[in-house]
Amino acid sequence: MSAVSTELVQRDRAAERGEFADSANARWNPMSRIVFRFCFVYFGVFCVVFPQFLFVYLGVLGSKLPENAIAWTLEVLEPVFAWVGRQVFGVDAALNLETGSGDQTIIWIFLFCALVIALAVTLVWTVLDRRRPSYQRLHAWFLLFLRLALGGQMFFYGMAKVIPTQMPEPPLMALLTPYGHFTPMAVLWSQVGSSPVYQILLGSAEVLAGALLLLPRTATLGAMLSLVSMAQVFVLNMTFDVPVKILAGHLLLICLILLAPQAGRLANMLVLQRPSEPATQPEPFRSRRVRRIAVAAQLLLVPWVILGLIQADWQYWKESGGAPKPPLYGIWAVSEFTRDGQPVPPLVTDKNRWQRLVFDVSGSMYQQMDGTLVPMVATVDTSAGTLALSEAKHTAHPLAVAQAAEPVGAFTFTQPAPDRLRLDGQLDGHPVTVTLEQIDLRSFPLRGTDFRWVQDEPRFG
């Protein structure tokens, strides 16, 4: 607790000097007061209504709530936003939690509503409170609220990278998909997911930024680190068309708002090479005892939030990306395919013959002769030597385990060798026999290229 003691001593001395007290002579110019009123209302509404901001501070209690509890505010207000969409923009907008998109039409309508509310409240507030010289204490509370809001989101996304569930290792399907068939977002996800260490380091920087934000003494450093992280995220979202542009953009703006009171000090130290006073956070608490409790509470939030996120992310990891590999895991190339007792030649135009069969953690699929990948749900019983294939329902998340629909095939299988497989059974109502050979995954450069200090002839393709 030495860090807490040092923090309290510094803040008590500053409070005794009057650095955190409201000053009747500290008069803000009219434009500063108007901008503050607008930001106070707009970002207050955004952080309260947008999912995740408050949910993350439930810690370990969050896992006890329903799966969609994180978006309860948007669900409650959905009828209002849908009505605004119809009346103002002439569109029918609905909230779709299955896609995971944060840039849905209804969320853009929410932003419009927040903007209108902020403008209206700012106008009324300015008229009724035009004589107030400044908002020193309210400003301090506002910055504390934004520090907590930003810090929670840095924890939320940082832990999803430290336990790499946000961008998982590219599935086996990615090894068989031509690069040109990837969306820009899939390219980004595959790039980061291909290097777990890189992803963990990115997440660690975000978690560190969140922790620094919750301690007033290091809040400025936390805001600076958050600014660098969120600037990178925002650029990636804009250039790779990741549907989290709204949230990333607002987090970037919150970083700038938190750093605005320190702009002069930072400019003196980093640019103008002038002496600078220590950066101090505006103090919303007058009592020394309350300040001590507030600092201790903010420090306790760090393990509370992190433990809750570890619990949720680790459980998700065990169920998806880190789940045990299924029986027959791998990519199996079809060497022989017999249908109705007749050999089927490997013609590109034949949609009934398989080229490959894939068993992966997130689901299974077969590849047609023209390269098309058809998702399937495979039920493998190794003790009985049976394999049942069913159509797979569409899932939005790359790590989501596919759900079975209509059955399409049932087989018995044997393995003459670990890398050999023979299927005998029915497929789409026809008797088939399929002989397959397992492909060595390290034959793919993405899986088989090791780190090297010396590279005389680097491979780019």
**Phi-psi map region of 74: left, alpha, beta (phi>0 left; psi -120 to 50 alpha):** alpha
Cβ neighbours, 10 Å, residue 419? 13
Residue 310 burial by Cβ neighbours in a 10 Å radius (0-12, 13-18, 19+): middle
pLDDT in tens, 216-226: 889 999 999 99
Q: What is the 3-state secondary structure (H, E, C) of 16-72?
A: HCCCCCCCCCCCCCHHHHHHHHHHHHHHHHHHHHCCCCCHHHHHHHHHHCCHHHHHH
Tokens 């799966």 found at: 67
Look at residue 23 and tell me whether its pLDDT is greater than 70.
no
The answer to whether residues 434 and 422 touch, using CB atoms and an 8 Å cutoff, is yes
Q: Under DSSP, is residue 213 helix (H, G, I), strand (E, B) or coil?
A: helix
Residue among 116, 59, 61 at smallest CA distance from 87 = 116
As beta bridge partners, residue 422 has: 414, 435
In this model, does residue 395 exceed pLDDT 60? Answer: no
What pLDDT shows up at residue 131? 85
pLDDT band at 397 (very low <50, low <70, confident <90, very high): very low
Do 363 and 405 form a contact (C-beta atoms < 8 A)?
no
Q: What is the per-residue pLDDT across 73-90, written as a single tens digit (0 to 9) for each?
A: 888 999 999 999 999 999
First to last CA, the chain: 53
Cβ neighbors of 125 (< 8 A, separation 6 or more) are: 37, 41
Task: Provide the 10 A C-beta neighbour count for residue 304.
Answer: 16
Average pLDDT of 113-123? Answer: 97
Pairwise CA distance, residues 33 & 28, whole Å:
6
Q: Residue 403: what pLDDT? A: 54
416: confidence class by pLDDT, cuts 50, 70, 90: very high
The residues with which 424 forms a beta bridge, in sequence order, are 412, 433
- Each residue's pLDDT tens digit, 243-256: 999 999 999 999 99
* CA–CA gap between residue 113 and residue 251 (Å, rounded): 19
Reduced to 3 states (helix: H, G, I; strand: E, B; else coil), residue 406 is: strand
Q: How far is CA 439 from the centre of its chain?
A: 33
Pair of tokens at residue 53: 């901001």
CA torsion, points 312, 315, 320, 323, in degrees to nearest 10? 160
> Which residue, among 371, 351, 357, has the nearest Cα to 435 in the 3D structure?
357
* In the predicted structure, residue 15 carries a pLDDT above the cut 60: no
Distance (Å, whole) CA 216 – CA 294? 10
Closest CA to 284 of 271, 270, 272, 298: 298
Q: Which CATH class is domain 330-447?
A: mainly beta
Cα 207–Cα 248–Cα 283 angle in degrees, nearest 5:
60
Rg (CA), the chain: 28
| 427/390 Cα distance (integer angstroms) | 10
* Token digits of residue 47: 């952080």
- % of the chain at pLDDT higher than 70: 91
User: 323 is written with which tokens?
Assistant: 């789940």
Q: Which two tokens stand for residue 76?
A: 């409650």
Find the range with the poorest average confidence among 95-99, 178-182, 427-431.
95-99
In the chain, ranges of CATH 2.40.128.20 domains? 330-447
- Rounded Cα distance between 395 and 245, Å, is 22
395 vs 412: CA distance, rounded Å: 28
Q: Which amino acid is at 428?
A: D
Q: Look up tokens 């809040």; give the residue.
A: 219
Closest CA to 170 of 402, 360, 419: 360
Average pLDDT over residues 416-434: 93
Query: Considering the chain, what is the average pLDDT of its residues?
Result: 86
> Looking at residue 402, what is its pLDDT?
52
Count of CB atoms situated within 10 Å of the CB of 242: 20
Give residue 34's pLDDT band: very low, low, confident or very high (50, 70, 90).
very high
C-alpha to C-alpha distances, 51 to 74, 82, 102, 247, nearest whole angstrom: 7, 17, 9, 10
Kindly state the tokens that stand for 35. Answer: 């901008």
pLDDT value at position 18? 41
pLDDT of 290 reads 84
Extract the tokens encoding 432.
Answer: 């088939």
CA 395 to chain centre: 17
1 is written with which tokens? 């607790």
